[in-house]
Amino acid sequence: MPQPIARDAMRQKRIATLSGVTRIAALVIAAVLPLAGLLYWGFAPAGTLAGAALVPATWLAEFGLAQRLLATVLALLPVLPLSWGLLRLAAALSAFRQGHPFGLAAATGMRDFAIGVFACTVLKLITGALLSVVLSWNAPAGQKQLAISVSSDMLLMLLVGAVLTLVGWALAEAAAIAEENAQFI
């Protein structure tokens, strides 16, 4: 039977390893998401964009630079807080890897990641509607669209983001109190 100290060391090593791998994944995704969105919306053929948006290709036949830039900005807006949140998650995971999962850096990083997920989801709802207007800009009269899409995934992400934000705030408060108390000892 392994000794308690050996089990603790093995557990800490597993946490450090998984935290390190997840941290790298978060950093890669934080960089790739905006870059991929920029490349897709900035350079994909109008027909490809029309197919993905489920609008007739004729609506995007005159997809000019201003319209493309506006669509690109709208598509990137939700991604930016998510990328920021992933960067903050990487900071939290770094604290996990160093053996400080309940410290202030870990708590604020997790809280900020949750805020990024929540903000991404709210912005996705808003920018999705605005994007439908931009993509139907050149539609014939009477066929322009304002499409508002709410999915169960969006609702779940709003709930997860809100709950994890609250947990992160509580952990950050607890960590700040613990650090303050440690100064008195």
Please give the full DSSP string across the chain, using - where no structure is assigned.
---HHHHHHHHHHHHHHHHHHHHHHHHHHHHHHHHHHHHHHHHS-HHHHHHHHTS-GGGGTT--HHHHHHHHHHHHTTHHHHHHHHHHHHHHHHHHHTT-TTSHHHHHHHHHHHHHHHHHHHHHHHHHHHHHHHHTTTSPTT---------HHHHHHHHHHHHHHHHHHHHHHHHHHHHHHHHH-
pLDDT confidence tier of residue 154, bands split at 50, 70 and 90: very high
What is the average per-residue pLDDT within 10-32? Answer: 93
Per-residue pLDDT of 29-51, as tens digits, reads 999 999 999 999 988 888 888 88
Domains of the chain, by residue range, sit at 4-184
What is the average per-residue pLDDT within 177-184? Answer: 82
Mean confidence (pLDDT) of the chain: 89
Residue 54 has pLDDT above 80, yes or no: no
Residue 72 has pLDDT above 90, yes or no: yes
Specify the pLDDT at position 185.
Answer: 62
Specify the pLDDT at position 159.
Answer: 94
Higher pLDDT, 176 or 38: 38
What is the average per-residue pLDDT within 44-65? Answer: 82
Residue 1 has pLDDT above 70, yes or no: no
Closest CA to 97 of 87, 106, 85: 106
- Which of 6-10, 27-31, 41-45, 98-102 has the highest mean predicted lDDT (pLDDT)? 27-31
